[in-house]
Structure 1
Amino acid sequence: MRAIKLLILSITVFANTAFAQENNKKEFTSNKERTSLVSPQIQVIPIKDTKTERNYELYIELPEDYAENNTKTYPVLYYTDAVWHREILSACQEYILEDAILVGISWQLDINEDLKKERGAHVSRFRDYSISKHSNPEIQTKYQFGQANTHLDFIRNDVITYVDNTYRTDPNSRTYFGYSLSGEFGAYILMTQPDTFNNYIIGSPTIKTLVPYLSELNSKFGPYEASNRSSSLNANVFISHGSLEQEMVKPIEEFVSLLKNRQDGGLSVLKEVIEGDHGIAFPTTAIRSVTWLASLMSHVSSNNNEISFWDIPHLNNAFINTTPEDRKDGISVDTLSVSSNDRNKILKLSQEIFDGKHGNYDALLISHKNKLVFESYYKKGRINLPHGQASAVKAYTSLVLGRAIQMGYLSMEDLNKPLISFLKDVDPEKMTKGAEKITLHKALTMQGGLTIDRDAWKEIEKDSLRLKGQGLVQTLLEQSEPITSESQTYLYGNYNPMLVMTVIDAVVPGTAEDFIKRELLDKLGITNYKWSNHINGFPEAGWRASIMSRDMLKLGHLVLNKGKLNGEQLISAAYLAKATSGIVKPTQDWMPKDYRSGYFWYQTLVKVGPKSYDATFAWGGGGQRVIVIEELDLTIVISGHDGEDKIMTQISEIIIPAFVKQ
């Protein structure tokens, strides 16, 4: 529906523009008396700057259902240059941003009449929106450039206070919209008092000479520190310029780089280039930016896969549902049925996750008895967007191998055979001593024993032709030190998973890529995903894949149900039992001491009271986890982009105990 409305809006803007251009070619005469157009849905409220005594107006437009929902709070979109921006933003509210309050801020009403006659009713914008003073003293005296700080105080102390006290506003969803000079004003607000708004739309800002000053403001604010939430700008930023605005390109790109170089976990920046010059780009900027804004107010994205994960803006509010929606995607749903005390703990944890108290996490899903009973999204999480999986891909690769065994392309006995025996395009004579010691079992348990000089390998990687197909394994086993019992100890990394993927490609009909799609993902109804290829042309086996959080749940259900899907044995039960058992103890010091590893799946015991429960899980950096506790009939999915990744503590102490009594 939103896409249809966006199309209607685009046609309306085009038609109105064409009509205006046609009118310019003709003269219309009328002997009838003319009247001003009054818009019944817009309230015009006089407001005074309490410090400067300057008079302004607010143009307030409420959503259609505002009067009907007495308990509902609404996001607010504040926009400057109100007379110029009001009509198109009002249309955007009608067609795109239906549940938002619009607040337009006028130019000063009681401005010097001579200035108003000379430059127009908008003359106060030169003073109110500009960051710096004019270099010409005469012009500076006349127009008083550089009072953005004063105008910002007015907006913070008078405008926002009035709106929040008068209407049911959502304090977590406050947006600024500015274009051209008022876009410059938006950049100033962001770099001085970013907490004024949660979201910033900065269209074609006039910052040609201002990047050094903005950089100075950034330095004063200080660097981002993951452990210090107040060090973050905590904002979503949409910034754009017209494709023909050549003078805008460099300073805006420098400003975007300034923001992105903060590496600020709470800051999301999206830059777009809009077709046209400064004037023509405006209406498209409005539509595109408001569409972007709508995407951060809903857990359902309208962008699909059009933007990268890192460009996804943070949700203004957590989406938390104890009765998940049936999306007809192969996931059965039910209601969270735990004690009221446990339910409140889970809800409290979810809000804390959104507030960033436990790191940067994007989704938390809970399934009990193969039914999704709790679903929540935070920050960059969206119900319909794939999320990066990092090393959780290793566990998914293990399931692919289990599918190949179930279909008879490999056997359980093959796990202990030399891995190179399955590869017909390699030359064992050129390989390092002991190459035959590497079995599928050893590779799956990260005990392949490869010892590769990293610097030498970086040079080899430049020769992509050499590494194509099974050439990767050939080169790895030529470059490695001899494989010995001493070298075949646990070593975390991506060499071993790619050895496994190369075998999968060698034994299945067609390619490994086709096999993964046809025999695993398609059967699970996983269609919205990204799975990158390694330099050798095969699917990555250890990272660089993305799937939706609900689809992570499907993989967890497959493990919970011992490899069965709708009665069909999809994954070899014997293989899966071994893959999810604690075969080896990881030796990396960053792994918890009680973790064990099977075939790219991890295991640990979770203690609840006097009893312990075996938890099996896929694990990827940043917080990707598919956790299966068979005894409790429980599957938990967590996805995130957190560096420290400590969410397992909360999972173990709050979520798992809630289902022990079920």
Structure 2
Amino acid sequence: MKIVRSLVILLCITAGFAQNGTQSKGKSLTYPKVSVFPITDTTLDREYELYIKLPEDYATDTDTTYPVLYYTDADWHVEMVSPATEYMLKGVILVGISWQRNIAPEMFEKVGPHYSRIRDFSLKPAEKPEIQKKYQMGQAPKHLAFIKKQVIPFIDQHYRTDTRSRTYLGYSMGGEFGAYALMTQPDTFDNYILGSPSIKNEIPELTRLNAAYLAQNPVKTHGVHANVFVTYGTQETEVTGPIDAFVKLLNDRRDNYLSVQKEVIEGDHTTAAPQTILQSVAWLGRILDYESGRNAPSYIFDVSLLNRPFISTSPAKRNDGLGVGVLGPDGGDPKAIHQLAQEIASGKHGVYDSFLVYQKDKLLFESYYNRGRLDLAHPQASATKVYTAFALGRAIQLGYLDMEDLHKPIASFLPELTPEKFVSGTELVTLHQALTMRSGIRIPEEQYDAMRENPGNIQGQQQVQAIFEQSAPITEASQSFNYGMDPILVMQVIEAVVPGGAANFIKTELLDKLGISNYEWKTSPSGLPYAPYRSSFRSRDMLKWGQLAANQGQWEGEQLIPKAYLEKAMDRQFLTGDDDIFGGGPSVSKQGYGYYWWTADLKVGDNTYYCQSAQGGGGQYVINIKELDLIIVVTGTDNTNKTLQLIADFVLPGFAR
């Protein structure tokens, strides 16, 4: 907080000098670490300057590409943007764009050196002819063309830029110019910072531009991938209504890929500027951290949307134990998979966060969308059930259980229970039945909610006691497939038989051995790890679960899971019916179930491939296709996804040839 307060004071002082043009006598100062390069708008023969500041590690970290923050009114704002980013946004290239340098001498004398900003940043010509003759207003389209076609390519050519991460910052008329860019060519930048935009009289024009853009680019097929930060001062009463109307204009698009945040800053148009710079830089820092996975929040919906997807047909080798290859030369059809990736990015198939393809011990394709990130653990929902089944298999491999125990009653492993209080039939429910979701346990949801609201009554094995007391009686009819609370019973058995408890056992005997450290596995009200859901893993680490299954339980030469157990777990032990196949379509049939693994047949031409998958609500998949030595990982937040059908349509044909 001391740094922020000091920066506010410093920026207020520099802003006062900059905005008012106050100068003291003495030597001029070349701004530290900022290089100045001339650049000419070759279309209009207008000369400008670029104020460029590189990150401290730019010269030494030669493998890194950097996001770029472009800002207008550089003559004023360099003294605010540079120190703010020095402390709060270090890994970014700063590019300030000056006013025109070769303006007519009479304009320099009459208006000042900032004459060109009035012309370059304004949306439309002035209504009064004499003003229009003097200022030549309404040239925002020409200035945007200059930035898009000459400034940005110049920076990308001469510096190591991350072309997927460009930000625009403009204040006052610079904010008005940013609003124009956002409404007409939003893909110019990924993030827009619009400080106190001068749009008092521009809402009709912005509304017209918005309608024209949407007519050519419907939200359903051409969502705007942008994060927008808009501010105004508490004393700027004249622009409060117009800026609120502008924000409403953006929100009324109902575009899932457009994120808009509005902040009201203490002060008037001048005094609010320093705090606007600070708050917007802090906002941008959070976005860039989320995009890279640094300091990312644990809750997926707290993550900003990626403006542009990350798509790689030759994934980078990272220190995570996964081999890498190149899509095409090492397998698969690059054209078909890239087409699918582009369609996913456009939102055509719903909301996906990641999509990875792995074959023969090589990651061949890696992509992230929306809230997906390379280093962010993604909620797994019901895919957690499969990871729980792996934990049980590990207990069998280490001798804490054996394969015969799968057909023994769960109650026989839990000595703290009081069987005489059980509902009829619960004492006979076996591990095998719980692993196949056929225990017969039936408890109304509201009754189960009441249990969770009183965690003191369901600590440890008392959770099973409560379930066995409150279930409806177990009958042959009730022991049919039911997607309920059976995994809870399995986790209770693991807790009872392994030393040190289930949570420590899962970490040391599975996750540590797989090299998985970036994860979350929440604790349930019983004090045990959740078994049906509420774990989170990175997409690359989800591949490791798939590898462990594909390798028949072996990992780096060690048998972690018994082969016989995995065969049983991943076998199609019964059919669940084809009426409602999660992720299905016309090429997906014979949906079945094993030990929390889903199975299905995927038809490709005249061939059929047996598919085994861990699945979670929202679109989480670890898909194994043994015949092709293929593993596919998908994450998302859309229960209406058609992932298995898309795999059959776009992915399998390239590997089946």
Normalising by structure 2, we get a TM-score of 0.74
Aligned residue type for 2:282: R
Cα distance change of structure 1 residues 156 and 528 upon mapping to structure 2, 3 Å threshold: same
For residues 567 and 383 of structure 1, the distance between their equivalents in structure 2, rounded to whole angstroms, comes to 27
Q: What's the counterpart of residue 402 of structure 1? A: 393
- Listed as ranges, the matches of 1:471-620 within 5 Å are 471-493=462-484, 495-587=485-577, 589-591=580-582, 592=584, 593-620=589-616
Q: What's the counterpart of residue 628 of structure 2? A: 632
Q: Shift of the alpha carbon at 1:485?
A: 1.2
> Is the partner of 2:565 in helix, strand or coil?
helix
For residues 357 and 326 of structure 1, the distance between their equivalents in structure 2, rounded to whole angstroms, comes to 30
For residues 595 and 530 of structure 2, the distance between their equivalents in structure 1, rounded to whole angstroms, comes to 16
For residues 604 and 100 of structure 2, the distance between their equivalents in structure 1, rounded to whole angstroms, comes to 63
Q: What's the counterpart of residue 138 of structure 1? A: none
Which of 97, 101, 107 in structure 2 is aligned with 1:104?
97
Residue 41 (str. 1) matches residue 31 (str. 2): no
Cα distance change of structure 1 residues 77 and 601 upon mapping to structure 2, 3 Å threshold: same
For residues 60 and 81 of structure 1, the distance between their equivalents in structure 2, rounded to whole angstroms, comes to 11
Q: Shift of the alpha carbon at 1:616?
A: 1.5
Residue 200 (str. 1) matches residue 165 (str. 2): no
- Listed as ranges, the matches of 1:113-128 within 5 Å are none
Residue 439 (str. 1) matches residue 394 (str. 2): no
Which of 289, 293, 302 in structure 1 is aligned with 2:294?
302
Segments of structure 1 that go 5 or more residues without pairing to the other structure are 1-8, 67-72, 132-142
Deviates more, 1:530-539 or 1:77-86: 77-86
What RMSD over aligned residues (CA atoms) do the two structures have, in Å?
5.5
Deviates more, 1:505-514 or 1:577-586: 505-514
For residues 536 and 126 of structure 1, the distance between their equivalents in structure 2, rounded to whole angstroms, comes to 67
2:345–2:369 CA contact under 8 A, matched in 1 = yes
- Listed as ranges, the matches of 1:196-235 within 5 Å are 197-202=188-193, 229-230=220-221, 232-235=223-226
Aligned residue type for 1:470: Q
Which of 354, 358, 375 in structure 2 is aligned with 1:384?
375
Deviates more, 1:337-346 or 1:612-621: 337-346
2:36–2:49 CA contact under 8 A, matched in 1 = no
Q: What's the counterpart of residue 313 of structure 1? A: 305
For residues 533 and 255 of structure 2, the distance between their equivalents in structure 1, rounded to whole angstroms, comes to 23
1:88–1:286 CA contact under 8 A, matched in 2 = no
Which of 648, 653, 656 in structure 2 is aligned with 1:657?
653
Residue 288 (str. 1) matches residue 278 (str. 2): no
1:176–1:186 CA contact under 8 A, matched in 2 = no
Normalising by structure 1, we get a TM-score of 0.74
Q: What's the counterpart of residue 622 of structure 1? A: 618
Cα distance change of structure 1 residues 105 and 511 upon mapping to structure 2, 3 Å threshold: farther
> Is the partner of 1:589 in helix, strand or coil?
coil
For residues 279 and 316 of structure 1, the distance between their equivalents in structure 2, rounded to whole angstroms, comes to 29
Deviates more, 1:302-311 or 1:360-369: 302-311
Q: Shift of the alpha carbon at 1:156?
A: 5.1
Deviates more, 1:336-345 or 1:619-628: 336-345
Q: Shift of the alpha carbon at 1:483?
A: 1.6
For residues 262 and 599 of structure 2, the distance between their equivalents in structure 1, rounded to whole angstroms, comes to 42
Residue 82 (str. 1) matches residue 78 (str. 2): no
Cα distance change of structure 1 residues 607 and 20 upon mapping to structure 2, 3 Å threshold: closer
1:236–1:269 CA contact under 8 A, matched in 2 = yes
1:184–1:202 CA contact under 8 A, matched in 2 = yes
For residues 29 and 171 of structure 1, the distance between their equivalents in structure 2, rounded to whole angstroms, comes to 41
For residues 60 and 602 of structure 1, the distance between their equivalents in structure 2, rounded to whole angstroms, comes to 57
For residues 171 and 510 of structure 1, the distance between their equivalents in structure 2, rounded to whole angstroms, comes to 46
Q: What is the count of residue pairs matched by the alignment? A: 618
> Is the partner of 2:463 in helix, strand or coil?
helix
For residues 156 and 380 of structure 1, the distance between their equivalents in structure 2, rounded to whole angstroms, comes to 29
2:618–2:639 CA contact under 8 A, matched in 1 = yes
For residues 375 and 622 of structure 1, the distance between their equivalents in structure 2, rounded to whole angstroms, comes to 19
Q: Shift of the alpha carbon at 1:353?
A: 3.0
Question: Could you tell me the percent identity over the aligned residues?
Answer: 35
Q: Shift of the alpha carbon at 1:175?
A: 4.6
Q: Shift of the alpha carbon at 1:523?
A: 0.8
For residues 262 and 333 of structure 2, the distance between their equivalents in structure 1, rounded to whole angstroms, comes to 43
Q: Shift of the alpha carbon at 1:561?
A: 0.8
